Amino acid sequence: MRVAVLGCGPAGLLAAYAAEELGHKITILSRKQKSEMFGAMYLHRPIPSLCAEEPEFQVQVTKIGSRQGYANNVYGDPNADVSWDKFEDGLTPAWSLSSLYRYLWGIYEDKIVDVTLGPTVVRDLAKEYEHTFSSIPARLLCENWHHSFTNTHIWVIHGSVKATKGHMMVYNGLPYSGLPSWYRYSLIQGYQSWEFSSRHTQATLTAQTVLDHLTMSEGWKPLTTTCDCHPEIQRIGRYGKWDKHVFTHDSYFEVRDALLPVR
């Protein structure tokens, strides 16, 4: 079966790998640009044939304050839906996403068709393949301006740490004081990041970033969408589905589930 995968980030390449592993002929269509990997990024579940069954490392999860405080720090709403309850204090198993993505990029880089994708292009492309999976941001494919895409804007301060052992993630649920305060800190494989909500401006964070020789980036958490364009395409990945609760490993297993019955 001919399968198209839209997007060449970790979710897209895992989708391509899953389809090819089942014997299907794949085409990867995307802007040929490797995704930047930093911050709290790791696999929560191993990929068969790509990862060892045993965890590559353990992440120490620590939660301070309360769930309501964390939700308020992230969204300014103590009742907002957050990931606080998805992780317990203590060690959680982890597999390296950055090294897996480098490996997959080495396999598929030369197979990526460099193309800018939009609603019209995707609609025509889907007719040429028996199954199409899309990991590119859902709003880029929307054809109806009445559809909504909710998200929250964040700032991420990040940088590498030399000679640092251990891996950790800290959820900050302490009451918001009005001063610049991060809501989540992570140190994963020698790379650390602090995530701040959009209530802080770039100007308030820049001084500390420069002082500590770190980098600051903008980010967006996808929340919900009413878009139902392109029902013939299966959305995968956090931005493809426009759902912050999606994990990277889900793409591999969802593609296998979709293609196994028609192998």
- Using a pLDDT cut of 90, give the percent of the chain over it: 71
| pLDDT higher than 90, residue 201 | no
208-214: average pLDDT: 68
35-56: average pLDDT: 90
> Between the CA atoms of 22, 27, 31 and 35, what dihedral angle is there, to the nearest 10 degrees?
10
42-60: average pLDDT: 95
pLDDT of residue 263: 47
pLDDT of residue 62: 96
Domain with CATH 3.50.50.60 in the chain: 1-36+95-145+226-263
Bridge partner list, 43? 95
Which single residue is written with the structure tokens 């990991």? 135
* pTM, entire model: 0.91
178-198: average pLDDT: 88
CATH class entry, domain 1-36+95-145+226-263: alpha beta
> Which tens digit of pLDDT belongs to each residue from 77-132?
999 999 898 888 999 999 999 999 999 999 999 999 999 998 888 888 888 999 99
- Using a pLDDT cut of 70, give the percent of the chain over it: 96
> Which tens digit of pLDDT belongs to each residue from 121-166?
888 888 899 999 999 999 999 999 999 999 999 999 888 887 678 8
Buried b (16+ CB within 10 A) or exposed e, 127-143: eebebbbbbbbbbbbbe
CA distance 193 to 155: 10
| pLDDT higher than 90, residue 256 | yes
Mean pLDDT taken over the chain: 91
- Pairing, β 215-225 against β 233-235: unpaired
For residue 211, name the pLDDT band (cuts at 50, 70, 90).
low
CA distance 44 to 67: 21
